[in-house]
Amino acid sequence: MGDAHVTGGRSLKSKLRRAERMEQVKAYLLILPLFAFLLICFLLPIGALLVKGFTDPTLSDELPRAAAMLREWEPAGGEVPDEEIFATFAKDLAASRPTDGASRVAKRLNIDQPGMRTLILKTANKLDTVEGATWRDKLVSIDSRWGAVATWSTLKYAASPWTLGYYIKALDFTRDERGEIVQQPEGQRLYRDVFVRTAVVSLSVSVICLLLGYPVAYFLAALPARYSNLFMIMVLLPFWTSILVRTTAWVVALQSNGVINALLIRLGVTEDGFALIYNRFGVLVAMTHILLPYAILSLYSVMKGVPVIYVKAARSLGAGPIRAFFQAYFPQTLPGVAAAGMLTFILAVGYYITPAIVGGPSDQLASYYIANHVNTTLNWGLASALASMLLVGVLLLYAVFVRLTGGRGAKLG
């Protein structure tokens, strides 16, 4: 009897598993199209771009033997490389000319050291005609810079297919001629300011969104459903127009002879109008306007779940209306405040088009520089490094946020 029961149990379990396997397969099949889409159109390109931040294949592809030898060479000694390296470099450079490799090398090196482009192209052109006993003499006679250690160390640090160079640059560091990582000179530092500016603008925008959005969300949550639905549509109305249109509308409103300045001049508040646009003020106004609905929605969804009865209870216990609000109601909406703040901050960190349109040169955020390196300078490695740092920064902030709210807070979305 006992054995029969056990075998019966086993077959029952395997039956159950078989039945469930069908369900699991069905579930996987349902998410498969989206998963494939995400993998091909999102995860793979992003992964490839992240890898780009660490790869630097130009020299090792175009000048393979010279690159391998240069990797061994130490610039710390203060000596230029030996004749063998000069010779190999010259042969590799000559060999790369038919496939236009020399110009790729020239472009790549110019990023690290302005002037390298002309040096490489000039050298490649004169290789066949130059006179000299050794390759070292020949190259130096083409251009005296070949006699400087700095030129060769620029080559050395571009020689490896793997590099930290983009990150070094994205953090405003550089390599000196001995190969040591040092701070950029004062006037050439850029990205640290950009990241600080991105954080400051995003933080300001999310704080303004919270200050403006909280009362509205409170008002909406307190209204009976038939009115709150109407107001909710008004909150969502901006989503029906594109960000570009809304931002451009701010240009119309804020420009020096725009709607607002015209009104202020007519009222006699100012004689020749305020500078409301192409500065930090314009960026904050336009970004707040675009992100405010997100803040209101996340606040509203939490407030809807906090009954007003708590305020009544606090008042029946002797607290005045203001105290009742801040001690009984407000603390319960903190998860919403955290979610709204986090959401607007993360969205603001990635903003590109709005600051580009209504901001001045010193109001551009990190995304502007990323786009610039992707589209204009074609330095995808640096773009990838900047984007990765932005991503890591946001992830770190999110981790801190989850830790602080004890995981109770908002799951975003």
Partner 1 sequence: MSTIVSFKNVQKTYDGETLVVKNLNLDIRTGEFLTMLGPSGSGKTTCLMMLAGFETATHGEILLKGKPINRIPPERRNIGMVFQSYALFPHMSVAENLAFPLKVRKVPCSEAGERVKKALAMVNMQSFANRMPAQLSGGQQQRIAVARALVFEPALVLMDEPLGALDKQLREQMQYEIKRIHEESGLTVVYVTHDQGEAMTMSDRIAVFNNGIIQQLAPPSELYEQPENAFVARFIGENNELKGTVSEMHDHGCVVELPHGGSVRASAGSGIAVGSTAGISLRPERITIGEGARQCDNVFHGGVKDLIYYGDHLRIVMVVCGHDDFIVKVPNDGMNRRVRVGDGIDVGWMADGCRALR
Structure tokens, 223: 């209204």
Instruction: Say if residues 278 and 287 touch (Cβ distance below 8 Å).
Output: no
Which one among 4, 19, 29, 317 touches partner 1, defined by CB under 8 A?
317
The answer to whether residue 179 forms part of the interface with partner 1 (CB under 8 A) is: no
Q: Give Cβ neighbours of residue 24 (< 8 Å, ≥ 6 apart).
A: none
- By CB under 8 A, tell whether 320 contacts partner 1: yes
Other C-beta atoms lying within 10 Å of the C-beta of residue 358: 26
Asked if 385 and 170 touch (Cβ cutoff 8 Å), the reply is yes
Structure-token pair, residue 257: 């002879």
CA atoms within 13 A of residue 8's CA, in its CB half-sphere = 5
Q: Does residue 405 bind partner 1 (CB under 8 A)?
A: no
Residue with smaller CB distance to partner 1, 22 or 309: 309
Which member of 17, 65, 312, 403 binds partner 1 (CB under 8 A)?
Answer: 312
> Shortest approach of partner 1 to residue 412 CB, angstroms?
22
Cα–Cα distance measured from residue 36 to residue 56, given in angstroms and rounded to the nearest whole number = 29
**Interaction of residue 406 with partner 1, rule CB under 8 A:** no
Interface region with partner 1, contact rule CB under 8 A, candidates 47-55, 65-73, 287-295, 326-334: 326-334
* Member of 50, 121, 130, 319 binding partner 1 (CB under 8 A): 319
Give the distance, in angstroms, between the CA of residue 205 and the centroid of all CA atoms in the same chain: 17
Binding mask 133-172 for partner 1 (x = CB under 8 A): ----------------------------------------
Picking from 92, 91, 125, 119, the residue whose alpha carbon sits closest to that of residue 106 is 119
38 binds partner 1 (CB under 8 A): no
> Judged by CB under 8 A, does residue 224 bind partner 1?
no
Per-residue CA distances from 290 to 3, 90, 183, 207 (Å):
70, 57, 37, 14
Most distant CA atoms of the chain, gap in Å: 102
CA geometry: angle at 181 spanning 179 and 182, to 5°?
120
- Alpha helix ranges (H) inside 223-308: 225-236, 243-254, 259-267, 280-303
Q: In this chain, which stretch among 68-76, 235-243, 302-310, 342-350 interacts with partner 1, using CB under 8 A?
A: 302-310
Indicate whether 327 belongs to the interface with partner 1 (CB under 8 A). Answer: yes
270 in contact with partner 1 (CB under 8 A): no
Count, residues near partner 1 per rule CB under 8 A = 19
Does 299 contact partner 1 by CB under 8 A? no
Residue closer to partner 1 by CB (options 26, 226) is 226
Q: How far is CA 268 from CA 163, 200, 209, 264, 272, in A?
A: 60, 34, 30, 6, 10
Nearer to partner 1, 97 or 315 (CB): 315
- Closest CB 362 distance from partner 1, rounded Å: 42
CB 306 to partner 1: min, Å: 9
Sequence-separated (6 or more) residues with CB below 8 Å from residue 118? 106
Q: Which of 307, 326, 400, 404 binds partner 1 (CB under 8 A)?
A: 307
- H or E stretch covering 152: helix 149-157
State yes or no: residue 305 binds partner 1 (CB under 8 A). Answer: no
Name the residue with tokens 């995860």. 43
Which of 306/382 has CB closer to partner 1?
Answer: 306
Distance CA 396, CA 195 (A): 14
Residue 290, token pair as written in the block: 């675009």
302 binds partner 1 (CB under 8 A): no
Per CB under 8 A, the list member of 104, 232, 315, 372 interacting with partner 1 is 315
Among the listed residues 1, 19, 29, 309, the single contact to partner 1 using CB under 8 A: 309
Shortest distance in whole angstroms from residue 206 CB to partner 1: 23
Which span sits near partner 1 by CB under 8 A: 61-69, 168-176, 306-314, 383-391? 306-314
Identify the H or E element spanning 367. helix 366-375
CB of 317 to partner 1, least distance (A): 4
Q: Specify the stretch interacting with partner 1 by CB under 8 A; choose among 152-160, 263-271, 316-324, 387-395.
A: 316-324
Does 376 participate in binding partner 1 (rule CB under 8 A)? no
Instruction: Characterize the bridge pairing of strands 181-183 and 173-175.
Output: antiparallel
The residues binding partner 1 (CB under 8 A) are: 307, 309-310, 312-321, 323-324, 327-328, 331-332
